[in-house]
Protein backbone atom coordinates (compact mmCIF):
# COMPACT_ATOMS: atom_id res chain seq x y z
CA UNK A 1 0.00 0.00 0.00
CA UNK A 2 3.01 2.23 -0.48
CA UNK A 3 1.05 4.32 -2.99
CA UNK A 4 -0.25 6.12 0.11
CA UNK A 5 3.24 7.32 1.05
CA UNK A 6 4.25 10.92 0.64
CA UNK A 7 6.74 11.07 -2.25
CA UNK A 8 9.66 11.89 0.07
CA UNK A 9 9.18 8.60 1.94
CA UNK A 10 9.98 6.60 -1.20
CA UNK A 11 13.41 8.21 -1.36
CA UNK A 12 14.42 7.61 2.28
CA UNK A 13 17.09 5.16 3.45
CA UNK A 14 16.53 5.01 7.21
CA UNK A 15 19.30 4.76 9.79
CA UNK A 16 19.93 1.19 10.98
CA UNK A 17 20.47 1.17 14.75
CA UNK A 18 22.74 -1.41 16.36
CA UNK A 19 20.94 -4.65 17.12
CA UNK A 20 18.97 -4.81 20.38
CA UNK A 21 18.64 -8.59 20.81
CA UNK A 22 15.54 -10.07 22.41
CA UNK A 23 17.55 -12.70 24.30
CA UNK A 24 19.31 -11.61 27.46
CA UNK A 25 22.22 -14.03 27.82
CA UNK A 26 24.46 -12.22 25.32
CA UNK A 27 27.50 -10.09 26.10
CA UNK A 28 26.32 -6.95 24.40
CA UNK A 29 29.22 -4.79 23.25
CA UNK A 30 27.62 -3.39 20.08
CA UNK A 31 25.86 -0.10 20.87
CA UNK A 32 28.10 1.71 23.36
CA UNK A 33 25.71 1.47 26.28
CA UNK A 34 27.20 1.87 29.75
CA UNK A 35 27.84 -1.48 31.47
CA UNK A 36 26.90 -0.02 34.86
CA UNK A 37 23.35 0.73 36.02
CA UNK A 38 22.26 4.34 36.54
CA UNK A 39 22.77 5.92 39.95
CA UNK A 40 20.47 4.59 42.72
CA UNK A 41 19.34 8.21 43.07
CA UNK A 42 17.82 7.96 39.59
CA UNK A 43 15.79 4.89 40.55
CA UNK A 44 14.61 6.56 43.75
CA UNK A 45 13.60 9.77 41.99
CA UNK A 46 11.63 7.94 39.34
CA UNK A 47 9.88 5.78 41.93
CA UNK A 48 8.91 8.95 43.76
CA UNK A 49 6.96 10.26 40.76
CA UNK A 50 3.34 9.58 41.61
CA UNK A 51 1.43 7.67 38.97
CA UNK A 52 -1.45 10.09 39.59
CA UNK A 53 0.71 12.98 38.37
CA UNK A 54 0.95 11.32 34.95
CA UNK A 55 -2.63 12.49 34.39
CA UNK A 56 -1.19 15.95 33.85
CA UNK A 57 0.95 17.16 30.96
CA UNK A 58 4.56 17.84 31.89
CA UNK A 59 6.12 21.32 31.86
CA UNK A 60 6.43 22.22 28.13
CA UNK A 61 9.59 24.23 28.85
CA UNK A 62 11.33 21.58 31.01
CA UNK A 63 12.38 24.39 33.35
CA UNK A 64 13.61 22.17 36.17
CA UNK A 65 15.79 20.04 33.91
CA UNK A 66 17.16 23.09 32.10
CA UNK A 67 17.96 24.78 35.41
CA UNK A 68 19.75 21.66 36.68
CA UNK A 69 21.84 21.41 33.50
CA UNK A 70 22.50 25.16 33.48
CA UNK A 71 23.76 25.14 37.09
CA UNK A 72 26.05 22.18 36.48
CA UNK A 73 27.54 23.43 33.22
CA UNK A 74 27.74 27.10 34.22
CA UNK A 75 25.36 28.47 31.58
CA UNK A 76 21.86 29.99 31.57
CA UNK A 77 18.63 28.03 31.04
CA UNK A 78 17.96 29.94 27.81
CA UNK A 79 21.25 28.55 26.48
CA UNK A 80 19.91 24.98 26.75
CA UNK A 81 17.61 22.89 24.56
CA UNK A 82 16.41 19.50 25.87
CA UNK A 83 14.96 16.60 23.93
CA UNK A 84 14.08 12.94 23.78
CA UNK A 85 17.60 11.60 23.38
CA UNK A 86 20.29 13.40 21.43
CA UNK A 87 19.07 11.77 18.21
CA UNK A 88 15.92 13.85 18.57
CA UNK A 89 17.90 16.92 19.61
CA UNK A 90 19.99 16.42 16.45
CA UNK A 91 16.82 16.24 14.35
CA UNK A 92 15.88 19.70 15.65
CA UNK A 93 19.44 20.91 15.03
CA UNK A 94 19.36 19.73 11.42
CA UNK A 95 15.91 21.24 10.80
CA UNK A 96 16.49 24.53 12.56
CA UNK A 97 20.16 25.29 11.93
CA UNK A 98 21.85 23.22 9.23
CA UNK A 99 19.88 23.77 6.01
CA UNK A 100 21.48 26.52 3.95
CA UNK A 101 22.46 27.44 0.38
CA UNK A 102 25.97 26.04 0.86
CA UNK A 103 26.46 22.42 1.91
CA UNK A 104 26.78 21.00 5.39
CA UNK A 105 30.19 19.43 6.02
CA UNK A 106 30.89 16.32 8.09
CA UNK A 107 33.54 13.55 8.05
CA UNK A 108 33.26 10.57 5.66
CA UNK A 109 33.65 8.28 8.66
CA UNK A 110 31.30 9.47 11.40
CA UNK A 111 27.93 8.97 13.06
CA UNK A 112 25.87 7.46 10.26
CA UNK A 113 22.69 9.24 11.32
CA UNK A 114 23.96 12.55 9.85
CA UNK A 115 23.45 11.67 6.15
CA UNK A 116 20.05 10.14 7.04
CA UNK A 117 18.87 13.45 8.52
CA UNK A 118 20.22 15.31 5.48
CA UNK A 119 18.09 13.21 3.17
CA UNK A 120 15.03 13.54 5.41
CA UNK A 121 15.31 17.33 5.63
CA UNK A 122 16.64 17.96 2.12
CA UNK A 123 20.03 19.27 3.25
CA UNK A 124 22.90 19.38 0.77
CA UNK A 125 26.06 17.87 2.30
CA UNK A 126 29.69 17.02 1.58
CA UNK A 127 31.56 14.20 3.31
CA UNK A 128 35.09 15.32 4.12
CA UNK A 129 37.54 12.38 4.27
CA UNK A 130 39.37 11.67 7.53
CA UNK A 131 43.14 11.77 7.05
CA UNK A 132 45.30 8.64 6.75
CA UNK A 133 45.47 8.35 10.55
CA UNK A 134 41.65 8.28 10.63
CA UNK A 135 41.64 11.74 12.21
CA UNK A 136 39.60 14.87 11.46
CA UNK A 137 41.98 17.45 9.96
CA UNK A 138 40.55 20.87 10.79
CA UNK A 139 42.44 22.36 7.83
CA UNK A 140 40.03 20.46 5.56
CA UNK A 141 37.12 22.48 7.03
CA UNK A 142 38.55 25.96 7.56
CA UNK A 143 39.08 27.13 3.98
CA UNK A 144 35.95 25.70 2.44
CA UNK A 145 32.64 27.38 1.65
CA UNK A 146 29.92 25.75 3.71
CA UNK A 147 26.55 26.41 5.34
CA UNK A 148 27.38 24.57 8.58
CA UNK A 149 29.63 21.86 10.05
CA UNK A 150 28.90 18.90 12.33
CA UNK A 151 31.10 16.17 13.83
CA UNK A 152 31.26 14.17 17.05
CA UNK A 153 34.12 14.86 19.45
CA UNK A 154 35.49 12.28 20.15
CA UNK A 155 34.56 11.10 16.66
CA UNK A 156 32.56 7.90 16.23
CA UNK A 157 33.27 5.14 15.43
CA UNK A 158 37.01 5.94 15.66
CA UNK A 159 36.98 7.25 19.25
CA UNK A 160 39.68 9.78 18.33
CA UNK A 161 39.26 13.23 19.95
CA UNK A 162 40.05 16.70 18.64
CA UNK A 163 41.78 19.20 20.94
CA UNK A 164 39.87 22.31 21.99
CA UNK A 165 42.41 24.47 20.13
CA UNK A 166 41.39 22.87 16.81
CA UNK A 167 37.72 23.54 17.47
CA UNK A 168 38.46 27.16 18.36
CA UNK A 169 40.46 27.54 15.15
CA UNK A 170 37.46 26.27 13.19
CA UNK A 171 35.00 28.58 14.99
CA UNK A 172 37.23 31.52 14.11
CA UNK A 173 37.73 30.47 10.50
CA UNK A 174 34.00 29.91 9.85
CA UNK A 175 32.21 32.67 11.84
CA UNK A 176 29.22 32.54 9.42
CA UNK A 177 28.67 28.80 9.85
CA UNK A 178 27.13 27.00 12.81
CA UNK A 179 29.62 24.42 14.13
CA UNK A 180 27.85 21.57 15.93
CA UNK A 181 30.03 19.44 18.21
CA UNK A 182 28.27 16.19 19.12
CA UNK A 183 29.79 15.35 22.51
CA UNK A 184 28.07 11.98 23.04
CA UNK A 185 31.35 10.49 24.33
CA UNK A 186 33.20 13.51 25.71
CA UNK A 187 32.98 12.42 29.37
CA UNK A 188 35.23 9.43 28.65
CA UNK A 189 38.30 11.56 28.00
CA UNK A 190 37.57 14.24 25.40
CA UNK A 191 37.88 17.99 25.92
CA UNK A 192 34.49 19.68 25.97
CA UNK A 193 33.92 22.74 23.79
CA UNK A 194 31.51 24.24 26.37
CA UNK A 195 34.05 26.83 27.63
CA UNK A 196 34.11 28.34 24.11
CA UNK A 197 30.37 28.86 24.02
CA UNK A 198 30.31 32.34 25.55
CA UNK A 199 32.81 33.66 22.98
CA UNK A 200 31.49 31.95 19.85
CA UNK A 201 27.80 32.43 19.01
CA UNK A 202 28.21 29.93 16.15
CA UNK A 203 29.02 26.99 18.47
CA UNK A 204 26.41 24.42 19.46
CA UNK A 205 27.35 21.50 21.74
CA UNK A 206 25.11 18.40 21.83
CA UNK A 207 25.14 15.98 24.77
CA UNK A 208 23.33 12.77 25.76
CA UNK A 209 22.49 10.89 28.95
CA UNK A 210 22.74 7.60 27.01
CA UNK A 211 26.43 6.81 27.33
CA UNK A 212 28.25 8.28 30.33
CA UNK A 213 25.08 8.52 32.46
CA UNK A 214 23.88 4.95 31.84
CA UNK A 215 20.45 6.16 30.69
CA UNK A 216 20.11 5.06 27.05
CA UNK A 217 16.67 3.67 27.89
CA UNK A 218 15.39 6.97 29.33
CA UNK A 219 15.93 9.00 26.11
CA UNK A 220 17.30 12.34 27.28
CA UNK A 221 19.69 14.62 25.42
CA UNK A 222 20.39 18.34 25.23
CA UNK A 223 22.16 21.09 23.33
CA UNK A 224 24.03 24.12 24.67
CA UNK A 225 24.61 27.28 22.68
CA UNK A 226 23.88 30.98 22.18
CA UNK A 227 20.24 31.87 23.06
CA UNK A 228 19.55 32.68 19.39
CA UNK A 229 20.51 29.15 18.31
CA UNK A 230 18.37 27.69 21.10
CA UNK A 231 15.44 29.89 20.17
CA UNK A 232 15.64 28.66 16.57
CA UNK A 233 15.41 25.09 17.81
CA UNK A 234 12.56 25.90 20.22
CA UNK A 235 10.57 27.39 17.33
CA UNK A 236 10.82 24.08 15.48
CA UNK A 237 10.11 22.03 18.62
CA UNK A 238 7.00 24.07 19.38
CA UNK A 239 5.84 23.50 15.81
CA UNK A 240 6.22 19.75 16.28
CA UNK A 241 5.83 18.48 19.85
CA UNK A 242 5.23 20.82 22.79
CA UNK A 243 5.86 18.21 25.51
CA UNK A 244 8.78 15.97 24.54
CA UNK A 245 10.19 15.50 28.06
CA UNK A 246 7.94 13.27 30.12
CA UNK A 247 7.68 13.42 33.92
CA UNK A 248 9.60 10.18 34.58
CA UNK A 249 12.48 11.04 32.26
CA UNK A 250 12.73 14.50 33.79
CA UNK A 251 12.88 13.14 37.35
CA UNK A 252 15.52 10.56 36.41
CA UNK A 253 17.64 13.01 34.45
CA UNK A 254 17.66 15.62 37.23
CA UNK A 255 18.61 12.98 39.82
CA UNK A 256 21.46 11.75 37.65
CA UNK A 257 23.04 15.22 37.77
CA UNK A 258 22.58 15.35 41.52
CA UNK A 259 24.76 12.25 42.08
CA UNK A 260 28.03 13.48 40.65
CA UNK A 261 30.20 11.09 42.69
CA UNK A 262 28.50 8.05 41.14
CA UNK A 263 28.85 9.55 37.66
CA UNK A 264 32.59 10.16 38.10
CA UNK A 265 33.19 6.74 39.58
CA UNK A 266 31.42 4.79 36.79
CA UNK A 267 33.02 6.88 34.04
CA UNK A 268 36.45 6.22 35.55
CA UNK A 269 35.74 2.48 35.73
CA UNK A 270 34.91 2.47 32.01
CA UNK A 271 38.10 4.41 31.21
CA UNK A 272 40.21 1.97 33.24
CA UNK A 273 38.64 -1.01 31.44
CA UNK A 274 39.22 0.66 28.07
CA UNK A 275 42.92 1.08 28.78
CA UNK A 276 43.23 -2.51 29.93
CA UNK A 277 41.29 -3.85 26.95
CA UNK A 278 43.42 -1.78 24.55
CA UNK A 279 46.60 -3.36 25.95
CA UNK A 280 45.11 -6.87 25.77
CA UNK A 281 43.97 -6.40 22.15
CA UNK A 282 47.38 -5.02 21.17
CA UNK A 283 49.00 -8.12 22.68
CA UNK A 284 46.79 -10.21 20.37
CA UNK A 285 48.16 -8.28 17.38
CA UNK A 286 45.28 -5.84 16.93
CA UNK A 287 45.82 -2.27 15.83
CA UNK A 288 43.69 -0.19 18.19
CA UNK A 289 42.95 3.46 17.41
CA UNK A 290 43.63 5.77 20.39
CA UNK A 291 40.14 6.03 21.93
CA UNK A 292 38.79 8.70 24.27
CA UNK A 293 35.32 7.11 24.18
CA UNK A 294 33.58 4.11 25.79
CA UNK A 295 34.50 1.86 22.86
CA UNK A 296 37.57 0.88 20.89
CA UNK A 297 37.95 0.63 17.13
CA UNK A 298 40.35 -2.17 16.27
CA UNK A 299 41.51 -4.30 13.35
CA UNK A 300 43.67 -7.38 13.05
CA UNK A 301 46.19 -7.66 10.19
CA UNK A 302 45.53 -11.39 9.66
CA UNK A 303 41.81 -11.89 10.30
CA UNK A 304 38.86 -10.21 8.61
CA UNK A 305 36.63 -8.16 10.86
CA UNK A 306 33.55 -9.83 9.44
CA UNK A 307 34.80 -13.33 10.33
CA UNK A 308 35.88 -12.20 13.81
CA UNK A 309 32.46 -10.64 14.42
CA UNK A 310 30.79 -13.87 13.29
CA UNK A 311 33.09 -15.95 15.54
CA UNK A 312 32.31 -13.72 18.51
CA UNK A 313 28.60 -14.02 17.85
CA UNK A 314 28.89 -17.83 17.96
CA UNK A 315 30.34 -17.30 21.42
CA UNK A 316 27.39 -15.08 22.39
CA UNK A 317 29.35 -11.82 22.19
CA UNK A 318 28.08 -9.09 19.88
CA UNK A 319 30.19 -6.19 18.60
CA UNK A 320 29.59 -3.73 15.75
CA UNK A 321 30.97 -4.18 12.24
CA UNK A 322 30.33 -1.56 9.55
CA UNK A 323 30.26 -2.54 5.88
CA UNK A 324 31.62 0.86 4.80
CA UNK A 325 34.68 0.20 2.53
CA UNK A 326 37.13 2.37 4.48
CA UNK A 327 36.41 0.72 7.81
CA UNK A 328 35.20 -2.78 6.99
CA UNK A 329 38.34 -4.29 8.52
CA UNK A 330 37.55 -2.74 11.91
CA UNK A 331 35.43 -3.90 14.82
CA UNK A 332 33.85 -1.38 17.15
CA UNK A 333 33.81 -2.90 20.61
CA UNK A 334 31.96 -1.18 23.46
CA UNK A 335 33.62 -1.27 26.86
CA UNK A 336 31.79 -3.68 29.17
CA UNK A 337 32.33 -4.63 32.80
CA UNK A 338 35.81 -6.04 33.57
CA UNK A 339 34.34 -9.56 33.37
CA UNK A 340 32.76 -8.89 29.97
CA UNK A 341 36.02 -7.43 28.68
CA UNK A 342 37.90 -10.52 29.88
CA UNK A 343 35.45 -12.81 28.08
CA UNK A 344 35.79 -10.77 24.90
CA UNK A 345 39.58 -10.98 25.07
CA UNK A 346 39.41 -14.73 25.82
CA UNK A 347 37.18 -15.29 22.78
CA UNK A 348 39.42 -13.21 20.52
CA UNK A 349 42.47 -15.11 21.82
CA UNK A 350 40.89 -18.32 20.51
CA UNK A 351 39.74 -16.76 17.25
CA UNK A 352 43.18 -15.31 16.42
CA UNK A 353 45.23 -18.33 17.58
C1 LIG B 1 24.88 7.42 20.76
C2 LIG B 1 25.07 8.64 19.93
C3 LIG B 1 24.07 9.61 19.81
C4 LIG B 1 22.63 9.36 20.22
O5 LIG B 1 22.40 9.26 21.49
P6 LIG B 1 20.91 9.24 22.07
O7 LIG B 1 20.92 10.35 23.04
O8 LIG B 1 20.77 7.91 22.70
O9 LIG B 1 19.92 9.46 20.97
C10 LIG B 1 24.35 10.79 19.18
N11 LIG B 1 25.55 11.00 18.60
C12 LIG B 1 26.52 10.08 18.64
C13 LIG B 1 27.82 10.35 17.98
C14 LIG B 1 26.30 8.86 19.29
O15 LIG B 1 27.23 7.93 19.28
Read off the pLDDT of each residue in 170-191 and give the average, rounded to a whole number.
98
Q: List pLDDT tens digits, range 12-37.
A: 988 888 878 877 789 999 999 999 99
How far apart CA 286 and CA 326 sit, in angstroms, is: 17
Task: Specify the pLDDT at position 23.
Answer: 72
Query: What is 56-258's CATH number?
Result: 3.40.640.10
How far apart CA 154 and CA 59 sit, in angstroms, is: 33
Q: List pLDDT tens digits, range 144-175.
A: 999 999 999 999 999 999 999 999 999 999 99
Task: Specify the pLDDT at position 344.
Answer: 98
The answer, yes or no, to whether residue 129 has pLDDT greater than 80, is yes
Task: Specify the pLDDT at position 25.
Answer: 84
31, 33, 274, 285, 352 from 216: Cα distances, Å: 10, 7, 20, 33, 33
Task: Specify the pLDDT at position 107.
Answer: 98
Task: Specify the pLDDT at position 303.
Answer: 97
From ligand 1's centre to the CA of 86, what distance in Å?
6
From ligand 1's centre to the CA of 249, what distance in Å?
17
How far apart CA 184 and CA 196 sit, in angstroms, is: 17
Q: If you take atom 5 of ligand 1, which residue's CA is the nearest one?
A: 86
From ligand 1's centre to the CA of 117, what distance in Å?
13
Rg (CA), the chain: 20
Q: List pLDDT tens digits, range 216-228.
A: 999 999 999 999 9
The answer, yes or no, to whether residue 183 has pLDDT greater than 90, is yes
From ligand 1's centre to the CA of 216, what distance in Å?
9
Query: Given pLDDT bands bounded at 50, 70 and 90, which one contains residue 250?
Result: very high
Q: Which atom of ligand 1 is nearest to the CA of 156?
A: 13
With a Cβ cut-off of 6 Å, ligand 1 is lined by 32, 85-87, 111, 152, 156, 182, 184, 208, 210, 216, 221
Query: What single-letter DSSP state applies at residue 56?
Result: S
From ligand 1's centre to the CA of 350, what distance in Å?
32
∠ CA 113-155-304, rounded to 5°: 85
Q: List pLDDT tens digits, range 41-81.
A: 999 999 999 999 999 999 999 999 999 999 999 999 999 99
Pocket residue to mutate for ligand 1, from 18, 82, 94, 156, most atoms within 8 A of Cβ:
156
How far apart CA 229 and CA 181 sit, in angstroms, is: 14
Task: Specify the pLDDT at position 2.
Answer: 87
From ligand 1's centre to the CA of 208, what distance in Å?
6
pTM: 0.97
Q: Which atom of ligand 1 is nearest to the CA of 32?
A: 1
| Sequence spans of domains, the chain | 20-38+261-351, 56-258
Element (H, E) at 264: helix 260-283
Q: List pLDDT tens digits, range 263-310.
A: 999 999 999 999 999 999 999 999 999 999 999 999 999 999 999 999
How far apart CA 173 and CA 146 sit, in angstroms, is: 11
Task: Give the SS3 label for residue 42.
Answer: helix
Pocket residue to mutate for ligand 1, from 90, 111, 207, most atoms within 8 A of Cβ:
111
What's the CATH fold of domain 20-38+261-351?
A: 3.90.1150
From ligand 1's centre to the CA of 26, what distance in Å?
22
Pocket residue to mutate for ligand 1, from 87, 88, 109, 113, most atoms within 8 A of Cβ:
87
Task: Specify the pLDDT at position 13.
Answer: 87
Task: Give the SS3 label for residue 103.
Answer: coil
Amino acid sequence: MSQFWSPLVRTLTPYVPGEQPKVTNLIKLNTNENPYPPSPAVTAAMQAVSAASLRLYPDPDSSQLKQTLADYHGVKPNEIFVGNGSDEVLAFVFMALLKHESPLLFPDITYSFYPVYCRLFGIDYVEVPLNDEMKIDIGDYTGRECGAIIFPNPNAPTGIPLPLSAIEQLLQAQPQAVVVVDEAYVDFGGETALPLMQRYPNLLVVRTFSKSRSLAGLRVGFAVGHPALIEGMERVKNSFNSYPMDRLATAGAVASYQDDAYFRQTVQAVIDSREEMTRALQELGFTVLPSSANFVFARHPAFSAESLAAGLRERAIIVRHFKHPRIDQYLRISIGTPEECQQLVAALTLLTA
